[in-house]
């Protein structure tokens, strides 16, 4: 009977610890949101500089992952823009194909870098 009571006491202590941790994280999030609202042009708008000051990257591998994913997504956006240009007849078929091929090759390299970083982490 004593062990059941000890188990319940341990679980309650663990829950209290988790509650305190969540409250601390909630305060951190509220502080960050407040900082975001205060940054920018006084209107609460985020700029590249204010966003960089808010985001913290814990280690070099994470930083490389963030930059690689950003480049990959930027290439995806470029491909979408080239496609729109082609659909509106602003870009010829040969130019469209050349650009898509070049962007796809760059995107493949970024995907390869992401995979290498993930492999290094595991």
* 80 contacts 59 by C-beta, under 8 angstroms: no
Q: How far apart are CA 78 and CA 84, in angstroms?
A: 10
Instruction: Give the list of residues 6+ apart from residue 96 with CB closer than 8 angstroms, or none.
Output: 82, 83, 85, 86
Q: pLDDT at position 105, please?
A: 96
Q: What is the DSSP letter of 92?
A: -
> CB within 8 A of 101, min separation 6: which ones?
none
* Contact of 122 with 76, CB cutoff 8 Å: no
What DSSP designation does 40 have?
T
For the chain (122 residues), the mean pLDDT of every run of 10, in chain order, is 81 91 90 72 63 75 88 95 94 95 96 90 80
CB 96 within 8 A of CB 84: no
Helix (H, G, I), strand (E, B) or coil at 95: helix
Q: For the whole model, what pTM was predicted?
A: 0.58
Domain boundaries defined on the chain: 1-56, 57-122
- Predicted local confidence at residue 90, as pLDDT: 93
Q: How many angstroms separate the CA atoms of 113 and 64, rounded? A: 9
């Amino acid at each position: 009977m004593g062990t059941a009571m000890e188990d319940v006491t341990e679980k309650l202590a663990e829950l209290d610890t988790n509650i305190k941790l969540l409250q601390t994280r909630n305060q951190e999030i509220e502080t960050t949101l407040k900082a975001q609202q205060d940054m920018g042009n006084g209107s609460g708008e985020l700029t590249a500089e204010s966003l960089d000051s808010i985001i913290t990257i814990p280690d070099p591998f994470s930083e490389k992952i963030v930059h690689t994913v950003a480049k990959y997504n930027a290439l995806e956006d470029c491909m979408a823009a080239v496609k729109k240009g082609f659909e509106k007849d602003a870009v010829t078929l040969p130019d469209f194909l050349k650009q898509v091929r070049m962007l796809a090759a760059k995107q493949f390299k970024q995907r390869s870098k992401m995979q290498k970083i993930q492999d290094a982490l595991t």
